[in-house]
A and B are shown apart, each in its own frame.
Chain A
């Protein structure tokens, strides 16, 4: 089967998931419960995706833990997306470099 058919199927499925709720719900939702639920969705979702998956995102648990701690420390100080992400990457890089030279 052509790879383009796969890509089209994949893209269309993902797009419909994003498009249908956005076009079908054009009126504000009144229910306080539903509005509260929707308010918490992004935070719950990003958190569930990050933990514990972050600890297997690099080639060793130790470097991932160090990257995680660095990212948390900077985020708690209110640093933005790029400083946090780049510092986490650098921390992982340095940690793996050090552990390799020490072993």
Chain B
């Protein structure tokens, strides 16, 4: 009974992500199709990778017929933030979860799923994560498939409008927390400042997007950890808690 509740709570939390993913992945499918890849391949890439920026970059590696080493390096750089996120998530999981279940949970530890799992009150269980991950995986795969299918039908202005969907989701995750907690607001402000520096200072523009995101994340989070350490004992305010 408790498992059922956990699972349906996961589904409930995952559904908005799934809908958002569908629209973002839709634009990935459009891109795949414009390079001559089939809807089936577009869907397969999304189903097996479940990552936004990594797939867009991976697609350009495929199109360029570059080496596998380049593919590995591209993914390592752009997606190494997932290693940080998985490390965070490892601290949020309920105690006593075995390696096999951790391997399953890891599959779709995306930016949004991670953020929602971390916002979940108390530790998260494998059954909650299963509910949370399943609809976004479906939405992400079907979106790419449908997008590749619809490429030639869709007008440019709709494609342009869909481009902002991913960032709208990010804003919806971060802003309410930053509004509540000054520490998070300070960390986010730092992240914006460093990120803007990387985008507009000529020397720093040579740094790839993947690397600059990692550098900005580490700088802002380290400064946050130095000046605003989270409470040592778990309390109701501490959303990272549950493991202390």
Residues of chain A whose beta carbon lies under 8 Å from any beta carbon of chain B = 1, 3, 5-11, 13-15, 17-23, 25-26, 28-29, 32-54, 57-59, 63-64, 67-68, 71-72, 74-76, 78-90, 92-93, 96-97, 100
Contact = CB atoms under 8 A, between A and B. Distances in A.
Interface of B: 16-17, 19-20, 23, 37, 41, 44-45, 48-51, 53-55, 58, 61-62, 65, 68, 71-72, 75-76, 79-91, 93, 95, 97, 99, 102-103, 105-107, 109, 111-112, 114-115, 118, 156-158, 160-179, 183-184, 187-188, 190-192, 194-196, 199-200, 209, 212-213, 216-217, 220-222, 224-226, 228-230, 232, 239-240, 243-244
A2 to B, nearest CB: 11
B83 A21 contact: yes
A38 to B, nearest CB: 4
Contacts of B112: 81
B90 A26 contact: yes
A10 to B, nearest CB: 4
Nearest to A37: B225
Contact of A6 (B71, B158, B164): B71
Given A39-B230, A54-B167, A93-B161, A28 B118 contact: no
A58 B221 contact: no
A37 B61 CA distance: 33
Given A9-B71, A75-B175, A85-B169, A67 B195 contact: no
A63 B37 CA distance: 30
B217 to A, nearest CB: 4
A44 B217 contact: yes
A29 B58 CA distance: 34
Contacts, number: 308
6 contacts: A19-B103, A36-B228, A39-B88, A40-B225, A41-B85, A84-B172
B52 to A, nearest CB: 9
A87 to B, nearest CB: 7
B173 to A, nearest CB: 6
A38 B195 contact: no
Given A14-B75, A51-B196, A42 B85 contact: yes
A44 B187 contact: yes
Contact of A76 (B62, B85, B179, B200): B179
Max chain A Cβ within 10 angstroms of own Cβ: one of B75, B102, B170, B179: B170
B76 to A, nearest CB: 6
Contacts of A87: 168
A79 B172 CA distance: 7
B242 to A, nearest CB: 9
